[in-house]
């Protein structure tokens, strides 16, 4: 990338890495309405640099205030149309300048490029999210000069200059203070940003909670507040909401927050937020942990992922603990007993908060569930220790709810008859598909509620939960479902019974079906669970449900479920009665019809069916029928 041999003391010109050039092209040429966010990004970088220096000073036993106070200074000059953001942070070495401002290491850049090229993207969040914040300076500046000296090395300083087109230049510079100064030559349409009121406005909007003083033309404009160390009674809702917008960052209010402290055995102060939108649902890939770990207000680690279990990665906030050793590293974090303890405390609190929300504010909880329900499900599947508590947070539609109305296991339990031994569920593409299928027939007949699972992972959730308050969770497509005995038979039912397969024939019919479908099924039996369907395929007890098998197949091509299912036939169904007659003199035709019935049941069970054979069979059945007319 160097078009010059390495000469650290001379002015050297470099080309931007290809990805950076593309990001710059988008940033400069797109008509973003929210150009002002460049200031948020520069301030956020200054904050990062100041946090790093504060930490370094602390570890080395230096007092930063005696030396060079930690602060951000903004100098605007409307005459020359320049704006300079200066921090007394960690600064950058020459190598870091090249690495940080000329290349993009994170995979985030590729994702940014993909998202940003789509017509409706929310740049406000995009730019910060993908670690390309610095380049937003070029939205408003025709030239950017970064002057910096690193606190970590004895090198002299450097000046980095670019117009954001294709190249940048690095020149050594002497006599610089520690930190970084970023000078923007504002474009014509961005000259407003050199005005005092405009700057204050933007800073107030995005950076009100910056934990270091910000001075505009030497006047301090922010009040520094570490909200989380205050007592909850002293913080207003507005302050919480503004703080969330600052740390998320987001333009919207959070769905909820929790602010608490603990003393023994662990001293923690925590302020956690449940955002209002789930980026993973919008297809943004996996969210990163957004919990910042502090010790007595000093930032120890940003995005400390071990503070919460993975399934809680949608929560953002701050955790402050005096018990954290200052020099804790990412590696020691992972296997620190202390961090594990904090993790437990936080998860318990969050779960409890959600439970309270579900009880006291069902509308808000519904909103939460629609955005973050997928994480609760993930928690059920991955987090053994919280499973029972999480089960209470799961919501679903059932055969007895209106479409779109969700209920809990608790509500289901409360209205089930005393004699009902299990909780039943069935997977399907949607309500109509499920209700048209054979599996819910017997439940409808007996008035038993069935949970409808529309999401492919739902069956796994049920499978992992296994039971709720000592009631087993059973898929309605399983072999044995032990339903409460039916009420008195309806006239139609007893009528159809008088027309059923003679009881003396049942065993031989079952044997005949078994012989014909040998390879395709495991077992055959007559069953009274069907009403309007002639046959049904059920899963042997203990087998994965049909939906789970399908998901495993989709995830892993090698996975061959081939659990053969059991077939149950309805002896009261006219088709079965007639089939029983037909097989005596026309074995071939009866076998063909059985094959066809099997395929219908397989389709109902969501299995793959050989459609060419199916169509050929229907053709011959139609032919035979027309001959008879």
Contact 326, 300 (CB under 8 A): yes
Residue reference for tokens 């980026």: 279
> What is the C-alpha to C-alpha distance for residues 87 and 84, in angstroms, rounded to an integer?
10
Beta strands in 80-194 (DSSP E): 82-87, 141-149, 157-162, 167-173, 179-186
Contact 145, 138 (CB under 8 A): no
Minimum distance, C-beta of residue 277 to ligand ADP, in the bound complex (Å): 20
Contact 383, 372 (CB under 8 A): no
Q: Quick one: DSSP state of residue 302?
A: S
Minimum distance, C-beta of residue 146 to ligand ADP, in the bound complex (Å): 8
Residue reference for tokens 């809702």: 237
| Residue 90 contacts ligand ADP per CB under 6 A | yes
Minimum distance, C-beta of residue 218 to Mg ion, in the bound complex (Å): 25
Minimum distance, C-beta of residue 133 to Mg ion, in the bound complex (Å): 3
Q: In the complex with ligand ADP, which residue's Cβ is closer, 162 or 422?
A: 162
# of chain residues touching ligand ADP (CB under 6 A):
16
- 100 makes contact, choosing from ligand ADP, Mg ion, none, with CB < 5 to 8 Å by partner type, with ligand ADP
- 342 makes contact, choosing from Mg ion, ligand ADP, none, with CB < 5 to 8 Å by partner type, with none
Contact 385, 377 (CB under 8 A): no
Contact 287, 313 (CB under 8 A): yes
Minimum distance, C-beta of residue 457 to ligand ADP, in the bound complex (Å): 32
Q: Identify the residue among 73, 82, 180, 292 touching ligand ADP (CB under 6 A).
A: 180
> What is the C-alpha to C-alpha distance for residues 397 and 370, in angstroms, rounded to an integer?
13
- 240 makes contact, choosing from Mg ion, ligand ADP, none, with CB < 5 to 8 Å by partner type, with none
Q: In the complex with Mg ion, which residue's Cβ is closer, 48 or 196?
A: 48
Q: In the complex with Mg ion, which residue's Cβ is closer, 292 or 453?
A: 292
Q: Identify the residue among 45, 162, 545, 572 touching ligand ADP (CB under 6 A).
A: 45
| Residue 51 contacts ligand ADP per CB under 6 A | no
From residue 351, alpha-carbon distances to 274, 278, 393, 562 in Å are 12, 18, 8, 39
Minimum distance, C-beta of residue 91 to ligand ADP, in the bound complex (Å): 6
CA-based nearest residue to 307, from 273, 274, 334, 269: 334
Cβ contacts of residue 519 below 8 Å, gap of 6+?
A: none
Q: In the complex with ligand ADP, which residue's Cβ is closer, 169 or 261?
A: 169
Q: Which stretch binds ligand ADP (CB under 6 A): 87-95, 200-208, 363-371, 456-464?
A: 87-95
| Residue at shortest CB range from ligand ADP | 133
Minimum distance, C-beta of residue 45 to ligand ADP, in the bound complex (Å): 3
Residue reference for tokens 């497509």: 477
Q: For residues 25-54, which are near Mg ion according to CB under 5 A?
A: 45
Q: Which stretch binds ligand ADP (CB under 6 A): 39-47, 201-209, 458-466, 521-529?
A: 39-47
Q: In the complex with ligand ADP, which residue's Cβ is closer, 108 or 456?
A: 108
Beta strands in 330-421 (DSSP E): 397-398
CA-based nearest residue to 309, from 390, 212, 416, 202: 390
- 378 makes contact, choosing from Mg ion, ligand ADP, none, with CB < 5 to 8 Å by partner type, with none
Minimum distance, C-beta of residue 78 to ligand ADP, in the bound complex (Å): 23
Cβ contacts of residue 518 below 8 Å, gap of 6+?
A: none
Q: In the complex with ligand ADP, which residue's Cβ is closer, 138 or 311?
A: 138
- Cβ neighbourhood burial of 142 (10 Å; 0-12, 13-18, 19+): middle
Contact 248, 316 (CB under 8 A): yes
Minimum distance, C-beta of residue 111 to Mg ion, in the bound complex (Å): 16
Six-digit token string for 558: 């090698």
Q: Quick one: DSSP state of residue 365?
A: H
Q: In the complex with ligand ADP, which residue's Cβ is closer, 17 or 353?
A: 17
Q: In the complex with ligand ADP, which residue's Cβ is closer, 90 or 354?
A: 90
Q: Quick one: DSSP state of residue 306?
A: G
Q: Identify the residue among 36, 41, 51, 242 touching ligand ADP (CB under 6 A).
A: 41
From residue 74, alpha-carbon distances to 156, 183, 193, 195 in Å are 23, 10, 11, 11
Strand order in the sheet with 72-77: 12-15, 167-173, 157-162, 141-149, 179-186, 82-87, 72-77, 214-216, 219-220
Minimum distance, C-beta of residue 279 to Mg ion, in the bound complex (Å): 18
- 49 makes contact, choosing from Mg ion, ligand ADP, none, with CB < 5 to 8 Å by partner type, with ligand ADP
Contact 472, 466 (CB under 8 A): yes
Minimum distance, C-beta of residue 133 to ligand ADP, in the bound complex (Å): 3
Q: Which stretch binds ligand ADP (CB under 6 A): 42-50, 53-61, 233-241, 621-629?
A: 42-50
| Residue 144 contacts ligand ADP per CB under 6 A | no
Q: In the complex with ligand ADP, which residue's Cβ is closer, 137 or 517?
A: 137
| Residue at shortest CB range from Mg ion | 133
From residue 137, alpha-carbon distances to 141, 193, 471 in Å are 6, 12, 60
> What is the C-alpha to C-alpha distance for residues 36 and 110, in angstroms, rounded to an integer?
24
Q: For residues 80-139, which are near Mg ion according to CB under 5 A?
A: 133
> What is the C-alpha to C-alpha distance for residues 395 and 377, in angstroms, rounded to an integer?
10
Q: Quick one: DSSP state of residue 78?
A: T
From residue 30, alpha-carbon distances to 86, 107, 118 in Å are 27, 22, 11
Minimum distance, C-beta of residue 131 to Mg ion, in the bound complex (Å): 6
| Residue 314 contacts ligand ADP per CB under 6 A | no
Q: Identify the residue among 92, 393, 579, 601 touching ligand ADP (CB under 6 A).
A: 92
Q: Identify the residue among 49, 227, 501, 605 touching ligand ADP (CB under 6 A).
A: 49
Q: For residues 95-134, which are near ligand ADP according to CB under 6 A?
A: 100-101, 131-134
Minimum distance, C-beta of residue 100 to ligand ADP, in the bound complex (Å): 3
| Residue 46 contacts ligand ADP per CB under 6 A | yes
# of chain residues touching Mg ion (CB under 5 A):
2
Q: In the complex with ligand ADP, which residue's Cβ is closer, 108 or 561?
A: 108
Cross-strand pairs, 471: 468
Q: In the complex with Mg ion, which residue's Cβ is closer, 292 or 572?
A: 292
Residue 283, sorted as left (phi over 0), alpha (psi -120 to 50) or beta, turns out to be left
Q: Identify the residue among 51, 87, 277, 449 touching ligand ADP (CB under 6 A).
A: 87
Where does this chain bind ligand ADP (CB under 6 A)? 41, 45-46, 49, 87, 89-92, 100-101, 131-134, 180
Where does this chain bind Mg ion (CB under 5 A)? 45, 133
């Amino acid at each position: 990338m160097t078009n010059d041999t390495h000469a650290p003391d001379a002015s050297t010109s470099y080309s931007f890495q290809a990805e950076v050039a593309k990001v710059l092209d988008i940033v400069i040429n797109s008509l973003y309405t929210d150009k002002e966010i460049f200031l948020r990004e520069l301030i956020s970088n200054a904050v990062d640099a100041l946090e790093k220096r504060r930490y370094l000073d602390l570890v080395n036993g230096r007092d930063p205030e005696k030396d060079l106070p930690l602060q951000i200074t903004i100098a605007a000059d409307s005459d020359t149309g320049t704006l300079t953001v200066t921090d007394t942070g960690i600064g950058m070495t020459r190598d870091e300048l090249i690495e940080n401002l000329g290349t993009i290491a994170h995979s985030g850049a590729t994702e940014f490029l993909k998202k940003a090229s789509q017509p409706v993207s929310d740049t406000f969040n995009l730019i910060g999210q993908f670690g390309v914040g610095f380049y937003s300076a070029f939205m408003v500046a025709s030239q950017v000069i970064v002057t910096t000296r690193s606190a970590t090395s004895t090198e002299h300083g450097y000046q980095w200059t670019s117009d954001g087109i294709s190249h940048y230049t690095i020149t050594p510079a002497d006599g610089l203070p520690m930190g970084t100064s970023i000078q923007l030559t504002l474009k014509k349409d961005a000259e407003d940003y050199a005005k005092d009121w405009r700057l204050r406005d933007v800073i107030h909007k995005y950076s009100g909670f910056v934990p270091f003083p910000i001075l505009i033309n030497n006047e301090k404009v922010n009040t520094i507040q570490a909200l989380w160390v205050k007592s909850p009674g002293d913080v207003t809702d507005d302050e919480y909401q503004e703080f969330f917008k600052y740390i998320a960052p987001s333009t919207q209010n959070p769905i909820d927050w929790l602010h608490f402290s603990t003393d023994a055995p662990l001293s923690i102060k925590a302020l956690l937020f449940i955002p209002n939108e789930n980026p993973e649902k919008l297809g943004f890939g996996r969210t990163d942990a957004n919990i910042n770990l502090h010790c007595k207000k000093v930032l120890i680690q940003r995005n400390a992922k071990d503070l919460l279990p993975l399934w809680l990665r949608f929560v953002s906030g701050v955790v402050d603990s005096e018990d954290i050793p200052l020099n804790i590293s990412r590696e020691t974090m992972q296997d620190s007993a202390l961090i594990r303890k904090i993790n437990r405390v936080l998860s318990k609190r969050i779960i409890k908060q959600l439970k309270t929300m579900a009880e006291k504010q069902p509308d808000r909880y519904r909103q939460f569930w629609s955005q973050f329900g997928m994480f609760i499900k993930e928690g059920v599947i991955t987090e053994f220790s919280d499973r029972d508590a999480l089960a209470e947070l799961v919501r679903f539609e059932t055969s007895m709810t209106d479409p779109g109305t969700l209920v809990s296991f608790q509500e289901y339990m409360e209205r089930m008859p005393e004699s009902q031994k299990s909780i039943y569920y069935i997977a399907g593409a949607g309500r109509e598909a499920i209700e048209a299928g054979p599996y819910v027939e017997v439940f409808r007949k007996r008035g038993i509620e069935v949970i409808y699972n529309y999401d492919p992972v739902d069956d796994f959730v049920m499978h992992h939960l296994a039971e709720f308050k000592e009631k087993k969770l059973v898929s309605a497509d399983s072999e044995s479902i032990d339903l409460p005995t039916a009420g008195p038979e309806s006239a139609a039912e007893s009528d159809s019974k008088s027309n059923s397969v003679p009881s003396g024939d049942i065993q031989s019919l079952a044997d005949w079906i078994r012989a014909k479908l040998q390879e395709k099924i495991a077992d055959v039996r007559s069953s009274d669970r069907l009403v309007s369907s002639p046959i049904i395929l059920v899963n042997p007890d203990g087998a994965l449900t049909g939906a789970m098998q399908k998901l495993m197949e989709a995830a892993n091509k090698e996975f061959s479920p081939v659990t053969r299912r059991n077939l149950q036939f309805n002896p009261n169904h006219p088709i079965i009665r007639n089939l029983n007659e037909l097989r005596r003199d026309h074995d071939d035709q009866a076998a063909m019809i059985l094959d066809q019935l099997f395929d219908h049941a397989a389709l109902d069970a969501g299995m793959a069916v050989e459609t060419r054979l199916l169509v050929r069979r229907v053709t011959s059945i139609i032919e035979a029928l027309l001959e008879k007319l």
